[in-house]
Amino acid sequence: MSTARPAFTIGWLYPDLMNIYGDRGNILTLLKRADWRGYDARVVELGRGDTQEMDKVDLFFFGGGQDREQALVYDDLIHSKQVRLEDAVAGGAMVLAVCGGYQLLGHYYQTGEGERFPGIGLIDVRTEAGKRRFIGDVVADLVSLDAEPKTLVGFENHSGRTFLGPKAQPLARVRMGFGNNGQDGTEGCLQGGVLGTYLHGSLLPKNPHLADHLIRRALKRRGVEKLSQLDDSVELAAHQRIAERARGARPNPADLTRR
Binding site for ligand GLN (CB under 6 A): 20, 64-67, 70, 99-100, 129, 157-160
Least Å distance between CB 194 and ligand GLN? 17
- Known catalytic residues? 99, 200
Indicate the residue among 20 and 88 with the shorter CB distance to ligand GLN. Answer: 20
CB 219 to ligand GLN: min, Å: 28
Whole-number minimum distance, CB 98 to ligand GLN, in Å? 7
Closest contact distance (angstroms) between CB of 86 and ligand GLN is 22
Least distance in angstroms from the C-beta of 161 to ligand GLN: 8
CA-based end-to-end distance of the chain: 63
Helix axes 208-220, 24-35, angle to 10 degrees: 60
What amino acid is encoded at 169 in this protein? Q
Which of 13/219 has CB closer to ligand GLN? 13
Looking at beta carbons only, is 11 or 106 nearer to ligand GLN? 106
Name residue 199's amino acid: L
Closest CB to ligand GLN among residues 67, 232: 67
Inter-residue contact 62 to 18 (CB < 8 Å): yes
Asked whether 117 and 74 are in contact (CB, 8 A), the reply is yes
Other C-beta atoms closer than 10 Å to the C-beta of 178 total: 25
Which residue number is nearest to ligand GLN in terms of Cβ?
Answer: 64
By three-state DSSP, how is residue 241 classified?
helix
Read out DSSP for 196-244? EE--BS-TGGG-HHHHHHHHHHHHHTTT---------HHHHHHHHHHHH
Half-sphere exposure of 68 (CA within 13 A, CB side): 4
Q: How many residues does the chain have?
A: 259
Rounded CA-CA distance 125/122 in Å is: 9
Residue placing its CB nearer to ligand GLN in the complex, 13 or 41: 13
Distance between CA atoms of residues 144 and 128, nearest Å: 24
